[in-house]
Amino acid sequence: MQTNSTYRKTYPISWDQLHRDSKALAWRLLHLDYFKGIIAITRGGLVPAAIIARELDIHLVDTICVSSYDWKDKKGEADVLKKFEGNGEGWLLIDDLVDTGRTAAIVKQMVPKAHFATVYAKPAGRPQVDTYITEVSQDTWILFPWDSESQFVTPLAGRDRTTE
């Protein structure tokens, strides 16, 4: 879980929920003009981009690679590891989440004419996004399924109640 004190809540997302929410985003995008391709913002945008590409029958998928988080905290500066050639006109830009909007601003500067869609949006970053599905409070750390795993939990009846 996020150790930064700005996050007071955790919102775990299952693979099933991510699939449903990504498909809902595809439904929302279906009425828009035809997109010639998808640009996934890696790494978080890869899974939603694959689902949306299938649902919108888009076969051309590219990436913009930006690293702004490590496994437990925000980094100071975002590193652009791979750019996209062109201004993004006719392209659909996909990410899993817009948080502060810092990464979104960098990417939108690279492809200003792309339609930017995310599955989840927080208030600080929401103005950067053209389309999203679910808004989550700014103080919530979204725990994506690729960042967690299922494990056994002792039933409530079997726990030591003095430590809870």
Give the residue numbers annotated as catalytic, written as ranges: 95-96, 99
Q: What is the dihedral of CA 88, 31, 23, 124, to 10 degrees?
A: 60
106 CB burial (10 A radius; 0-12, 13-18, 19+): middle
Here the tokens at position 5 are 């004190």
